[in-house]
């Protein structure tokens, strides 16, 4: 009996029109929601893949290596010498690590141990580790460089 009542009410043209309008609005809301959700998922996927590509690119790039030319430029710049005609020459790169590089510089036929930190900061004074060991003296002994006190 209840089905007959529902069918009778649905046969009314006014109810049919309202039902069509209501279903169309709900369908439109669902389509708009799905469109936004799909757009969000695609944008998030693209952003995540770009982030992954950037991370993969960073891991494959080798850290910068210290070359004789770059070490000479750093030393000349730190000592404010003419880069085309320097007085202090980089004689040897002992350790070309880009964080802490050890080099041998030569000035007036005197060799000294010097340090380049983060491919920028240059200094030729004594360097101590956290245990108090003088790294400069150790390098001088290891490479047979006679320390000349000034």
Quote the pLDDT of residue 1.
67
Quote the pLDDT of residue 140.
83
Its pTM surpasses 0.75: no
**Sequential DSSP letters for the chain:** -HHHHHHHHHTSHHHHHHHHHHHHHHHHHHHHHHHHHHHHHHHHHHHHHHHHHHHHHHHHSPPPPP-HHHHHHHHHHHTT--TTS-SSEEEEEEE--SSEEEEEEEETTEEEEEEEETTTEEE-S--B-TT--BHHHHHHHHTT------
CATH dotted code for 68-142: 3.10.450.70
Tell me: pLDDT of 58 over 70.
no
Choose the weakest-confidence range: 56-60, 67-71, 73-77, 137-141.
Answer: 56-60
What digits encode the pLDDT tens for the residues 66-95?
888 888 988 888 888 888 888 888 888 888
Under the banding of pLDDT at 50, 70 and 90, the label for residue 37 is: very high
Which residue has better confidence, 56 or 102? 102
Task: Kindly state the average pLDDT of the residues 11-33.
Answer: 92
Task: Kindly state the average pLDDT of the residues 18-34.
Answer: 94
Tell me: pLDDT of 150 over 60.
no
What digits encode the pLDDT tens for the residues 6-20?
888 888 888 888 889
């Amino acid at each position: 009996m209840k089905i007959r009542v529902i069918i009778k009410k649905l046969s009314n043209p006014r109810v049919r029109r309202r039902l069509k309008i209501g279903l169309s609005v709900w369908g439109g809301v669902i389509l708009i929601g799905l469109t936004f959700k799909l757009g969000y998922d695609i944008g998030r996927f693209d952003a995540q893949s770009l982030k992954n590509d950037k991370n993969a690119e960073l891991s494959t790039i080798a850290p910068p290596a210290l070359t004789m030319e770059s070490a000479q430029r750093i030393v000349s710049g730190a000592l404010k010498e003419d880069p085309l005609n320097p007085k202090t020459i980089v004689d040897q790169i002992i350790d070309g690590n880009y964080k802490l590089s050890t080099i041998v510089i030569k000035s007036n036929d005197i060799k000294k141990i010097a340090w380049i930190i983060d491919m920028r900061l240059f200094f030729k004074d004594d360097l101590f580790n956290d245990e108090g060991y003088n790294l400069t003296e150790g390098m001088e002994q290891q490479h047979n460089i006679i320390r000349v006190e000034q």
